[in-house]
Chain A
């Protein structure tokens, strides 16, 4: 019963945030003083052609009408139409989304595989050299821009060792082996950089557990550290970790967009960059809105799982 109310509340927050985000995206692309039609056509355009393009883009209508029209389209799955190619944004997205989804999914998994063990070591050995090494490694990893990591990775593994292709993409259906080979370096790059940031969260989640009374009691009655951590640590730490994974959703997505550009992967990132360069405003607006909704949906899902993992959350008042 209580749980139902909290889920409904969270859904309400999700809806409000999506509306807010749509307003933000819309206002930036429609209400700011820049004239997109003029920008697209260049300085040599006549006022008539500019007016015609403005009408084609729907820019000559009042803002509230434009906004409602756009949102109405979003609700029915119409994200807009590219004014250059005439293709619906949804079609363009469909052709590109798989690459980005693979990259994001594997990188999330990869960063966990890196961060869980290293964060655990850093927490348990926090007073000895192992902890210091992991901590320093995480600091350095966080300072490395993801695109530089990608360039270095392709320098080492593609240019010098010739183990993997430096860039490009092959569809899974065409050649599973080629697909995997082209994804290894981008996924590795993104996993390492994300994993570095995640390690710090894993470490503090476990340090918190190690300071708890239940852990001390378990140790006092003779449990080994490994058993105490397995039985008590993982469950309690997982609560904060799930939250962090949700918070990371947007940074992984941003990282993926950048990494796509480093390795020339035909995903949403490269599509967005091309659209920005061509001033294909409706494609940019539609794709950005799609990505924003994905981020918001992930963070809502994370909150739901948080309610399910932690029974205390089902009775306590909302903790901000």
Chain B
């Protein structure tokens, strides 16, 4: 049953990755070329998912949209992990004022969610893929810091760390040899769940016009454009939403499945 989560998660994430890779080499139609004669076609042949208000094939745009989703996810989660994990490790290992400093800073970032950060960035620089990634990445730092801090504290309380300390291993050595391998699974789970959140955030930002700008297709801006046609072409507003849901569900299941797989004690609780 719980293995099923992991398997379904992998399949859904795999679908998104395949769509993104496929779109690099092939799309059924040009995802950018406006064809006025083909506006708002219903799903059928040759446009499997129909066309949008510019006469562009929806399937083609959907496939290309997967690229933006994955790139923004990878970069923002990577940024958050690169900054958050060392901070959490440091806070957990040193404790005291360092702990206090990192955790209070995390509180501050927690209170300024990605959407508000993105608005601040967009009002200074103008909205772009870059400002969206920066906002999502910054807003995701606290989660990584908290998870790695909690894990570090657990490891620091074990006897093997006590033994390592007694035998004169340096703090750096303890971090490298004992803490890092033990908290790596936690970070992996957080990365997967964080990826799901990043996809949701990116979609919301590009829906609101605060992320990737047209003509580059994203699932969020496709939904925004489709909204004005819900009276005549409602299916257009279904496909991109389904794509987002599949991607988010995939990463969430992957994260949950991974956690259960790695820590059987949590099976009951999570």
Query: Does A173 sit at the interface, judged by CB under 8 A?
Result: no
- Across the interface, name the chain A residue whose C-beta is closest to B240: A148
**Docked CA distance A151–B234 (Å):** 10
**Docked CA distance A219–B113 (Å):** 44
Query: Does A139 sit at the interface, judged by CB under 8 A?
Result: yes
Per-position 1/0 for B224-266, Cβ under 8 A of A: 0011001100100110110011101100110000000000000
Verify B119–A154 contact, CB threshold 8 A: no
B113, B238, B245, B268: the one within 8 Å of A211 (CB): B268
Min CB distance A137 to B, Å, is: 12
A residues within 8 Å of B by Cβ?
13, 16-17, 20-21, 24-25, 28-29, 32, 34, 36, 39, 126, 139-140, 142-148, 151-152, 154-155, 159, 204, 207-208, 211, 250-251, 253-254, 257-258, 261-262, 272-273, 275-277, 279-281, 284-285, 288, 291-292, 295-296, 299, 320
**Docked CA distance A159–B232 (Å):** 10
Contacts of B122 in A (CB 8 A): 276
A-B contact pairs, 27 of them (CB 8 A): A13-B104, A16-B104, A17-B108, A20-B108, A29-B120, A29-B124, A39-B125, A126-B268, A139-B253, A140-B245, A142-B248, A143-B246, A145-B207, A145-B241, A146-B204, A148-B223, A148-B245, A151-B237, A155-B230, A250-B111, A258-B207, A261-B207, A281-B123, A284-B120, A295-B111, A296-B111, A320-B103
Per-position 1/0 for B116-137, Cβ under 8 A of A: 1101111111110000000000
Question: Interface size class for chain B?
Answer: 35 or more
**Docked CA distance A292–B119 (Å):** 13
Contacts of A148 in B (CB 8 A): 223, 237, 240-241, 244-245
Contacts of A251 in B (CB 8 A): 113
Which of B108, B125, B230, B231 has the most CB atoms of chain A within a 10 A radius of its CB?
Answer: B108
Contacts of B115 in A (CB 8 A): 254, 257-258
Verify A204–B244 contact, CB threshold 8 A: no
Min CB distance A213 to B, Å, is: 16
Verify A34–B241 contact, CB threshold 8 A: no
Query: Does B105 sit at the interface, judged by CB under 8 A?
Result: yes
Contacts of A28 in B (CB 8 A): 117, 120-121, 124
- Across the interface, name the chain A residue whose C-beta is closest to B244: A145
Verify A155–B107 contact, CB threshold 8 A: no
Query: Does B183 sit at the interface, judged by CB under 8 A?
Result: no
Contacts of B268 in A (CB 8 A): 126, 207, 211
Contacts of A277 in B (CB 8 A): 209
Query: Does B112 sit at the interface, judged by CB under 8 A?
Result: yes
Query: Does B77 sit at the interface, judged by CB under 8 A?
Result: no
